[in-house]
Amino acid sequence: MTAATPTPLTIDFVSDVSCPWCAIGLHALEQAAQRLDGEVALQVHFQPFELNPQMGPEGQDIAEHLLEKYGATPEQSQKNRDAIAERGAALGFTFEMGQRSRIYNTFDAHRLLHWAGDEGAAGQQLALKHALFKAYFTEGRNPGSHEVLLELAQTVGLDVQRASAVLASDEFGDAVREQEAFYQQNGIHSVPAVIINGRHLIQGGQPVEVFEQALRKIAAQG
């Protein structure tokens, strides 16, 4: 590649809509790519991972959920929320912890994301992912609500009638389950997991510098 030709890099971004570190990881990855503007060209594909696949449609109180799943005390949970909010603010993303009181099922959000990547225009899957993170973490909305999902689809320019048909059926359900199984069988048990060119793995909501260094190194390898 010449200096005038950015090196194309394929990113499989394995994540859940309800994972705060996934929102942090995505923003850090994008800022790293901005620092390497002209050097790399990222093609990002969002892959599904459900932190709580058995969660009912009504969701669960966050404090109750964290205590049951992780044994986290209210004090520990608050400390973690503060750290997340601080990291988000540094990246220009707002976590309004007071707005978000429940954990929700995200399977339908993953189906819609899969559809957006499969049938949407370039950039629409990314736009929908950002809209979902904002709806949940900043506005405290339910990312499993079909009403919310259709509103977000419209906001990012997707075909709302087609989105409604997808949500009313189980379309792309098998595809999402197959992708989830594929990544879990390949050792992905926590998110975010950022896979570059199908073979380089970066785990967790890493700082911008970590992504920048990795992208530059992999791009240099051709």
Same domain, 76 and 97: yes
Residue at 5 is within a domain: no
Domain boundary among 36, 71, 103: 103
Same domain, 64 and 43: no
Predicted TM-score (pTM) above 0.75: yes
CB 124, CB 156: distance < 8 Å = yes
Residue at 1 is within a domain: no
Residue 207 belongs to domain spanning:
19-49+193-222
**Sign of the CA dihedral with 147 first, then 149, 153, and 155 last:** positive
Taking only the tens place, the pLDDT of each residue in 134-158 is 999 999 999 999 999 999 999 999 9
Taking only the tens place, the pLDDT of each residue in 75-104 is 998 899 999 999 999 999 999 977 778 999
Q: Identify the three-state secondary structure at position 171.
A: coil
Among left, alpha and beta (phi > 0; psi -120 to 50; other), residue 33 is alpha
CA-atom Rg of the chain in angstroms: 17
| Contacting residues for 11 by C-beta, under 8 A, at least 6 apart | 29, 42, 43, 44, 45, 194, 195, 196
Residue at 215 is within a domain: yes
Same domain, 64 and 99: yes
Q: Terminal CA-to-CA distance of the chain, rounded, Å?
A: 8
pLDDT tier for residue 4 given thresholds of 50, 70 and 90: low
Q: How many domains, in total, are found in the chain?
A: 3
Closest CA to 216 of 43, 44, 38: 38
Taking only the tens place, the pLDDT of each residue in 164-216 is 999 999 999 999 999 999 999 999 999 999 999 999 999 999 999 999 999 99
Residue at 4 is within a domain: no
Same domain, 114 and 180: yes
